[in-house]
Amino acid sequence: MYNIAIDGTAGSGKSTVARALAKRLDFNVFNTGDLYRGLACAYLDMGYHNITEKSVKDFIKRCEIKVEFLEDGQHTFVNNFDYTSRLHEEEISVLSSKVAPFKKVRKKVKKVQRQFAKNNNCVMEGRDICTAILPHADLKLFITARPEIRANRRYQQNKNEGKSYEEILKDINERDYNDSHRKVAPLKPAKDGIIIDNSDMTVEETVDYCEKLFKEKVR
């Protein structure tokens, strides 16, 4: 099976690039953030509230995670309940980033990710795919862009949601800092990965470049 691993900074367009690249190559695209998001939904549904090491350990023991690809894309199940429609609620975005740093959580999620990559040609995207989950992937990419460019992209996408460009830039700088400074699975390029700064590239150009890199690698 061919595996392409993509990590990158918030707002770099890595999810869009991963989806488009997978489509061109007729691979599955696997969004790993959805697993942490699904766990965050289940955390609340199972009656947990505050995040403590003890409660997360207890919670994760009681969870089975599963991903299925249906006609409309990736679905995330925890204990056989499909949480897909709730994954992008604001509360879940915040909670997922609090649940994600725990070792036991990462261990469980890692198993699901590796199993999938073993059985499918896929483009897998997240924060630690190149460094921890698929260090032997056929191609390892780290996608980023200058913070001002990423903030402007988000601002243009979400103009009607009320956040100013300055607020978005502040969020992006904070997320960069938190993602790259956390103790467990920090966001960083793999030593043998390829860094793509797409500040001056369109999505199409980024996908073209990734496709070219993949074809060169597997030729």
Residues that bind ligand C5P (CB under 6 A): 32-33, 36-37, 96-97, 100, 126-128, 185
Strand order of the β-sheet with 65-70 is: 65-70, 73-78, 81-82
Supply the minimum distance, in Å, between the C-beta of residue 215 and ligand C5P: 26
Supply the minimum distance, in Å, between the C-beta of residue 92 and ligand C5P: 9
Q: Which two tokens stand for residue 121?
A: 């040609």
In terms of CB distance, is 97 or 121 closer to ligand C5P? 97
In terms of CB distance, is 172 or 215 closer to ligand C5P? 172
3-state secondary structure of 108: helix
Supply the minimum distance, in Å, between the C-beta of residue 113 and ligand C5P: 8
DSSP, res 185: S
In terms of CB distance, is 15 or 199 closer to ligand C5P? 15
Supply the minimum distance, in Å, between the C-beta of residue 202 and ligand C5P: 22
In terms of CB distance, is 26 or 50 closer to ligand C5P? 50
Contact 60, 104 (CB under 8 A): yes
Which residues does residue 186 pair with via DSSP β-bridges, in sequence order? none
In terms of CB distance, is 50 or 219 closer to ligand C5P? 50
Supply the minimum distance, in Å, between the C-beta of residue 34 and ligand C5P: 6
